[in-house]
Structure 1
Amino acid sequence: MSFERADIYSTSVLPGEAASEDQFSEVIKAFKRFILEFRVDNQFIYRDQLRENILVKQYQLTVHNEHLISYNDELNKKLMDDPSEMVPLFERAITEIARRIIFISHEETPTSFPTCQLILLSNDNKLSIRNLDSEHISKIVKISGIVISASTLHSKATDVTLMCRSCRHTMKMKVGSSFGAIQTPKSCQSAQQPNGEKNQCPPDPYIIVHDKSVFIDQQVLKLQETTDMVPIGEMPRHILLSVDRNLCNRVIPGTRCDVVGIYSIYQAKVRNGPSSNNVAIRNPYMNVLGIQTDRDAQTGGLSSVFSEEEEEEFLSLARSENLYERFSNSIAPSIYGNADIKKAIVCLLMGGSKKILPDGMRLRGDINVLLLGDPGTAKSQLLKFVEKVSPISLYTSGKGSSAAGLTASVQRDPTTRDFYLEGGAMVLADGGVVCIDEFDKMRDEDRVAIHEAMEQQTISIAKAGITTVLNSRTSVLAAANPIFGRYDDMKSPGENIDFQTTILSRFDMIFIVKDEHNQQRDEAIAHHVMNIHTNGGSAETQVEGEIPLDKMKRYIQYCKVKCAPRLSYEASEMLSSHFVGIRKEVKNKESHSTERSSIPITIRQLEAIIRITEALAKLELAPVATERHVEEAIRLFNASTMDAVHEGNSDNAQITSEIHKIESEIKRRLPLGWSTSYATLRRQFVEKGSYSLAALEKALNILERKETIQLRHQRSNVFRCGV
């Protein structure tokens, strides 16, 4: 930065100063020549850029490192090796050229001209935050990560005017490091009096005269490693960033960015006074010279840079046959079955179209999916795969997530003692997917915290004097277990699902995943698992037509950036009539039932089907969603949420009465200590009686769970009563 050197200016000329000034002037001339002479395709890009910036009163110049290398490699080497010395000279060169531009356009030179800021961008290889060490101190490095907190703007002194409180001697001092307190002289620096005596000033005599000092805007950011950069079992590292002037307020928490800056150190304040152990310890931070973000407000935080070859490949992929089936088969191919769940995940990854209504109301386009079911049905593996394939994603577990960790927490700056916000998972995954495992293990107060984030896609904060609204435009993919660990067919969905109606209505699709006993399916799953374990998921076992992971990720980005489909008139008519039919059907069932369904069918579910329809059209890069997309969206909705609503409601009453009768009959016929064969029970109750085989099976399961009977030899031989 241009304010890194700590110099004290005085009236006397130090020996050798003229030589250093000559050397500096040569470097400044070299930088000037670069700005004025460098051109690409016969265009003087930096001269023209500076002129345009000055006309709109933006005193800055953005320089690409590779241009300086191609123009003067030696000059670039000096800048990289000694940035604290060279960056101020570069900025002096920019300022002098800018002053000349103003002088040509105006008749007289302005008396006070601001220092122009150098913004440096680079295409160098990125360093990991955990790989920064002592060798990189005072060198220009490039790192990447996600901004997790941003402080408010505060004024930082660059040139301070000091005055002795005793003799009124004034002096100017240039402030060095961006962090830490200003180090004022310990004794008065005034000249001797004419009689040769020095003023008897006390120690630490200087006070800062703020009216005559120069200040600039400064902001402190905290940059953390992204999840894919953190080794397994390690904590994510973070580093403080100091940005000033035109770089302030460029990024917000949740922004993924590449940062070019000077790796520096500062002496932190010691709360209990200096100690011999920590006097030599310095804390690292980075003085930022340039920030490159992939964020685009129109695209929800995704990179919109695609090569022509990529675009051609994606357009041909969108036109290919059975793309929907191929894409869903490429979702977690190592997991057998679950076809509808994988298709729902495809819709979640694509998302619908965001809408802003004329009255300013926003309608979300992100799709939320809940997987509720028995353990061992690969719910967590699906979540892990979505974390890998989604361009922006975060994985968290319910028990290890608090309300503040999911939304935002208020922290206190250790130096200024001011409060600031630090974004949680829903903020950091803005524009992506949040995968929440063990959703049922969360505390109710923590689960309530994400109500607003799931529907309005904002997080409102009113804590410690901070009142603000943060964006959380994320899809939620949650996995949970029923209240009894396993899904109990004898109980209604409301008794199995331990969630409030308020949270269930915010999920567009709710899947009840059961671990059903089916011999053919069990054999197929066993064969599939054995293949994976023996072949190790090799290329030979890859399904034909499967899309590679990286290609899927880029295609999802491309669809989100380039396509925002709308419903055709016929599709909207078809949807509205279907929704009216669903509401009527649910109302009729509730009128004949003793309890209301815990999974509500509200206007949110109509919006859910609309979003699924748009996601299916977006997958094919179609600008308009047709009736074909609506039919598949209705089928998916029926296979998920409507199945969960009907679960246990249709024939439940009849089967329940049958089961109760079979239970009482078995207890009456089998005295304590007696046994009988399964074939006998089947003959008596199913073949001779009027009961169904399913009712007999469920009754035996219930009695076994109550320890009324004991099953021996896998239900082939004997049931024994009175265990």
Structure 2
Amino acid sequence: MDEMSISKRGVTMAGTPYRMMNSEMNYTLMDSSINHSSILDSSSRLDNRERRIQKVNENIISEYELGRQSVVFTQQKYKQLLDGFLLFVQTNKYIHNKITELRDEALEEYNRMLNKNIPNIIIHQRLICNINNFQTGNEQFELLARCLIKEPYLALPAYQAAIKELWKSQQDSKIDIECPKIGLCGWLGRHHVTPRGLQSSMLNKLVAVEGVVNKCSTVQPKLVQSVYIGEVVHDINADIRSEEKTVHLRPHYDITDFDKTAKDSGRPPVSDPEGKIMHKHEIGLCKYKNHQKFVIQETPEDAPTGQMPRWVEVIVEDDLCDIVKCGDRVRVWGVYRASCGQANSSNSGLGRSFLIANNVLVKNKETYDTNLFISEADKKNFHAFAKKNNTIDILGYSFAPSICGQDIVKKGIILMLAGGTERALPSHHIRGDIHIMLVGDPSCGKSQLLRYVMSIMPGTVSATGRGSSGVGLTAAIVTDQDTGERVVEGGAMVMGDRRVVCIDEFDKMQATDRVAIHEVMEQQTVTVAKAGIHTTLNARCTVLAAANPLYGCWNDALDMGQQLQFEPSLLSRFDLIFLVRDSATEQDDERIADSVLRNVTEKAKPVINECRNNQKNYVIQADSYDINPKAQHISVYNERDVNKNTGGDSAQESEEFETPIFANRDEMIYYDKNGIEHEILTVPFFKKYLHYVKNVFYHEKQRTDGWKPYPEVSDEACEVITELYADLREKAAKYSHNKIIQGVTPRTLEAIIRLSSSHAKLKLNRYVTSVDVNYAKKLLMYTLFGEEIVEDVEEEEEEEDE
């Protein structure tokens, strides 16, 4: 039994190896087939890998070849541009004369500083060239102009190299003076825009941007080249000690360098591999240059209604630093570039854009509106209109004709728009701007009068009492995001320098915020002394404010002080404070209703706001400065000829063009309180006349006939002004303190002079006469004591021509 089991077990055991042998044979056969297929797969994978590697190598080689060809093509193009610019500067007489002039100025400055024993003289000069200089009919030169606009990173270095060659040929070999840098100006067509017009298609191209400086940083030193000295470490065991020192120069490049792409700004290793040389940074031998940033913001008149104003950050260096300040209206030529991969500290495709300035121009106060073309025919009409007996009455009828009534208020605003006489002496400054405040019942047209001023006066800045603060109107201290330093940012009044600032809902402003504008209204400056910054900004603006009484409507039973929550110090700064009342008679109600219904039903043409009818056009039109090929670098616009606006119609370019004087009766007429119809002036004639009497006429007379640039106060007017001031003081003394809206102070005397001078301007008179003072008297008697103005025909004035 056991043997059988053993035998069976043996058979079983004996059979097991047999089956295992068979399985091993099968496995061997399978492994051999698998190995054969794996060998085929691995060989195919190797072939695919080799093909991919070969393809990658071919792509790398092709890319390298394309890059090499691109570099060769760029070098060839740069050489062609350099030859073209060399030919241009050698044949252009203006460039030759300007370089000679700059060289003589540099030599004079060099000798002057040398006599004072001042070493290391550095003279920064800039040669301003109008891009229209290339428009000579030569196709090669015109191609250079296009390259300057489309490829400034190539054309500007080539142009600078050509100027350097010409500078060296004319310079004395004994004196090495740095070559002046190139500054471009002129009209750039579609590339002459506001900050809102900057687009990605303009990157790396030459652009010109106009706006107002909103924020300006301080001038800081920028590292250009680092110097490292390699000193030998003394070894005690060494037999020979070498005292030789090595010098390593490391240039630093950034977005402002057009001809540099590789940024080799890293420092050398601290020591060499053997540890025998130690590199030390020599700060005193490094090279630096001035560096500054400021922000150009879209002007209020160019910003579309309901949208935030756009802005662009400008980088200036060397001689362009410290030219502008907050509130200046500037025009900047430069290259629009982007710094990608640095947005929000991440490697993304988004980035900040900068304008690398090549030339900066600050506009002067005479640049009121470059689109106002005044022909000789217009000037004749202006003089004929000024000689009329009812000039002020017609201007009053033409101001906001859709608002019936408020004739006295309108005439006061017209005097405000014409302005008085500013006297800036070394010892003191007397403002010439007239401030007006409208106080009265709601729904009387106060806000509409402010809106009409904004529509006809370019550059008007608007604000509201509820949404404005003291620092928002004057200036604020903000922190720069790049440097972390604190800088001054101008407010509404600083940005409205030499313009009108309209403040609606003036009573809704906090008392602490109203105190901030006291200095602006009288001294016309904003002084900032906080956070370690002490500076003074100009805010020479005219303030037109509108407010409501404390209890909503004006109540004659209450005193003035109970209905006005303004400080006496603030009220004294306003030249005129008009009390605007709602009509209380049936006759006035019928007249207002009839006037409104007639203008709506019979004269159904809507009034177009000409200042904002082209909001989508952000291209700045050319003026005479842009077209003049011999335009030179100046810090301000001096006596710019605004009569040659190439952006206007061809008819306006003719001296015979005549602006229509009176509007069509089918469009708009005005009804006075007696129900009599009056023709009104057209809006273009109205705007041009105000611009002419304020900014053009007296300057022309100063050049041609020797007049002063403002109406002179005659001896007769001085006597009348003295008598008027004494009468007002005597009459005010008879009133209780709370019975008159503002007191009669020495500021009232200055207001009399300003109002009289403004009236003389509107009549184009050389001298302020007693007639002008009497008109100012009527306005002051109405605003101070509520005496109605008797409507009489103005006395005809004889114009004195000397």
TM tier relative to shorter chain: 0.7 to 0.9
Q: How much has 1:622 moved relative to structure 2?
A: 1.6
Change (3 A) 1:537 1:165: farther
Distance 1:292 1:575 in 2: 42
Q: What are the Cα deviations for residues 151-187 of structure 1, in whole angstroms up to 9, with x where unaligned?
A: 11122334444678999761342513149x9955568
The amino acid across from 1:141 in the alignment is V
The CA distance in 2 between the partners of 1:187 and 1:510, in whole Å, is 68
* 8 Å contact kept, 1:437–1:478: yes
Q: Give 1:560 shift.
A: 2.6
- Correspondence for 1:176 among 221, 238, 254: 254
Question: Taking structure 1 as reference, are residues 474 and 187 closer, same or farther at Cα in structure 2, changes over 3 Å only?
Answer: closer
Q: Distance in 1 between matches of 2:521 and 2:374?
A: 34
Alpha-carbon distance, 1:515 to partner: 0.8
Cα distance in 1, alignment partners of residues 716 and 446 from structure 2: 36
TM-score normalised per structure 1:
0.77
Moved more, 52-61 or 382-391: 52-61
Provide the C-alpha distance between the structure 1 equivalents of 2:265 and 2:84, rounded to a whole number of angstroms. Answer: 36
Aligned to 1:697: none
Deviation at 1:609, TM superposition (A): 1.3
Tell me what 1:541 maps to.
667
Give the whole-Å Cα distance in 1 for the aligned partners of 2:788 and 2:733: 12
Deviation at 1:21, TM superposition (A): 6.0
- SS of residue in 1 equivalent to 2:144: helix
2:694 paired with 1:560? yes
The counterpart of 2:169, out of the listed 80, 96, 100, is 100
Residue 465 of structure 2 is aligned to residue 398 of structure 1:
yes
Q: Considering only CA atoms, is the larger Rg found in Structure 1 or Structure 2?
A: 2
Return 80-89 or 402-411, whichever deviates more. Answer: 80-89
In 2, the alpha carbon distance for the partners of 1:361 and 1:556 equals: 28
Is 1:614 aligned to residue 757 of structure 2?
Answer: yes
**Distance in 1 of aligned mates of 2:250 and 2:543:** 56
- How do residues 50-199 of structure 1 correspond to structure 2 at under 5 angstroms? 50-57=99-106, 59-70=125-136, 71=138, 72-103=141-172, 108-111=173-176, 113-125=177-189, 126-161=192-227, 170-178=248-256, 184=264
Q: State how far apart, in whole Å, the 2-side matches of 1:190 and 1:313 are.
A: 80
Give the match's secondary structure for 2:349.
Answer: coil
Going from structure 1 to structure 2, the CA distance change for 1:227 and 1:155 (only over 3 Å counts) comes to same
Do the aligned partners of residues 157 and 99 (structure 1) sit closer, same or farther apart at CA in structure 2, a change above 3 Å counting?
Answer: farther
Q: Name stretches of at least 5 consecutive residues in structure 2 with no aligned partner.
A: 1-67, 107-123, 234-245, 608-663, 670-677, 699-708, 790-802
Change (3 A) 1:85 1:426: same
Q: 1:528 and 1:385, CA in 2 relative to 1: closer, same or farther beyond 3 A?
A: same
Give 1:432 shift.
1.1
Shift of the alpha carbon at 1:320? 4.8
Report the alpha carbon displacement of residue 209 of structure 1 after superposing the two structures with TM. 4.6
- Aligned-partner SS, 2:569: helix
Q: Which amino acid aligns with 2:175?
A: P
Q: Match of 2:711, as an amino acid?
A: P
Tell me what 1:335 maps to.
403
- How far residue 620 of structure 1 moved from its aligned partner, in angstroms, is 2.1
The one-letter code sitting in structure 2 at the alignment partner of 1:117 is: K
Other structure's SS at 2:292 match: strand
Distance verdict in 2 for CA 1:318–1:171, change over 3 Å: same
Q: After superposition, where does 1:226-375 map in structure 2 within 5 Å?
A: 226-267=299-340, 274-275=345-346, 278-296=347-365, 299=366, 309=376, 311-312=379-380, 314-357=382-425, 360-375=427-442
- Counterpart amino acid of 2:538? N
Using the alignment, how far apart are the partners of 1:154 and 1:644 within structure 2? 60
Partner Cα separation in structure 1 for residue 358 and residue 529 of structure 2: 33
Instruction: Note if contact 1:344-1:636 (Cα within 8 Å) is conserved in structure 2.
Output: yes
Give the Cα–Cα distance (whole angstroms) in 2 for the partners of residues 207 and 323 of structure 1. 79
Give 2:658's aligned residue: none
- Aligned equivalents of 1:453, 1:529: Cα separation in 2: 39
1:674-718 superposed Cα distances (whole Å, 9 cap, x missing partner):
xxxxxxxxxxxxxxxxxxxxxxxxxxxxxxxxxxxxxxxxxxxxx
Alpha carbons 1:268, 1:283 under 8 Å: kept: no
Which residue does the alignment assign to 1:37?
A: 91
C-alpha spacing 1:50/1:190, structure 2 compared with 1 (3 Å): farther
**What is the Cα deviation at residue 644 of structure 1?**
8.8
Which deviations, in whole Å up to 9, do the C-alpha atoms of 1:548-590 show, x marking residues without a partner?
A: 3344334333323334112111111111112111211221233
Indicate if the aligned counterparts of 1:506 and 1:604 stay in contact, CA closer than 8 A.
yes
The CA deviation string for residues 171-206 of structure 1, in whole angstroms up to 9 with x for no partner, is 342513149x99555685999x9xxxx77999xx99
Which one is further off, 555-564 or 398-407? 555-564
Structure 1 residues 285 and 23, CA gap change in structure 2 (3 angstroms): closer
Q: Deviations over 1:584-637 (max 9, x none)?
A: 1221233xx8x5645211111111111100001111222211111111111111
User: What is the aligned partner in structure 1 of residue 509 from structure 2?
Assistant: 442
CA contact (8 A) 1:583 1:601 kept: yes
1:213 and 1:128 mapped to 2: Cα distance? 38
Structure 2 Cα separation of the partners of residues 149 and 507 of structure 1? 30
- For the residues of structure 2 that align with 1:622 and 1:127, how far apart are their CA atoms? 40
| Cα distance in 1 for residues equivalent to 2:525 and 2:549 | 29
Conserved in 1, the CA contact under 8 Å of 2:759 and 2:772? Answer: yes
Specify the code of the residue in structure 2 equivalent to 1:29: D
Deviations 1:301-329 (A, max 9, x none): 77799765365554454445533222222
Secondary structure of the residue that 1:370 maps to in structure 2? strand
RMSD: 3.4
Q: How far apart, CA to CA, are the structure 2 residues paired with 1:34 and 1:121? A: 17
Rounded to whole Å, the distance in 1 between the matches of 2:195 and 2:324 is 19
Cα drift, residue 433 of structure 1:
1.0
d(CA) in 2 for partners of 1:554, 1:425? 26
User: What is the Cα deviation at residue 119 of structure 1?
Assistant: 1.1
- Out of 68, 81, 85, the residue aligned to residue 27 of structure 1 is 81
Distance 1:328 1:305, change over 3 A: closer
Contact 1:153–1:219 (8 Å) recurs in 2: yes
3-state SS of paired residue (2:204):
coil
**Contact 2:478–2:487 (CA<8 Å) still a contact in 1?**
yes
CA distance in 2 between counterparts of 1:400 and 1:464 reads 25
**TM-score scaled to structure 2, two decimals?**
0.70
- Cα deviation for residue 413 of structure 1 reads 1.2
1:548–1:62 CA distance, 2 compared to 1 (3 A): farther
Asked if 2 retains the 8 angstrom alpha-carbon contact of 1:392 and 1:431, the reply is no
Which residue identity does 1:584 align to in structure 2? E
Greater relative contact order, per chain length (Cα 8 Å cut-off, separation 6+): 2
Other structure's SS at 1:227 match: coil
Question: Aligned to 2:127, what secondary structure does the other structure show?
Answer: strand
Q: What pairs with 1:506-585 in structure 2 (closer than 5 Å)?
A: 506-534=573-601, 535-537=604-606, 540-543=666-669, 545-561=679-695, 562=698, 563-585=709-731
Secondary structure, counterpart of 2:396 in structure 1: helix
Moved more, 558-567 or 333-342: 558-567
- Given that 1:157 and 1:175 are in contact with CA atoms closer than 8 Å, whether structure 2 keeps it comes out as no
**CA 1:597–1:547: 2 relative to 1, 3 Å:** closer
Change (3 A) 1:392 1:199: farther
Name the SS of the counterpart of 2:84 in structure 1: helix
Matches within 5 A, 1:619-634: 619-634=762-777
**1:509-561: per-residue Cα shift (whole Å, max 9, x none)?**
01111113211111111122223444144651323653333443343333233
Deviations along 1:645-684, whole A, 9 cap, x unmatched? 99xxxxxxxxxxxxxxxxxxxxxxxxxxxxxxxxxxxxxx
Q: Unpaired segments of 5 or more residues in structure 1?
A: 1-13, 39-43, 647-723
CA contact (8 A) 1:512 1:644 kept: no
- 2:732 maps to which residue? 586
What's the % identity of the aligned pairs? Answer: 29
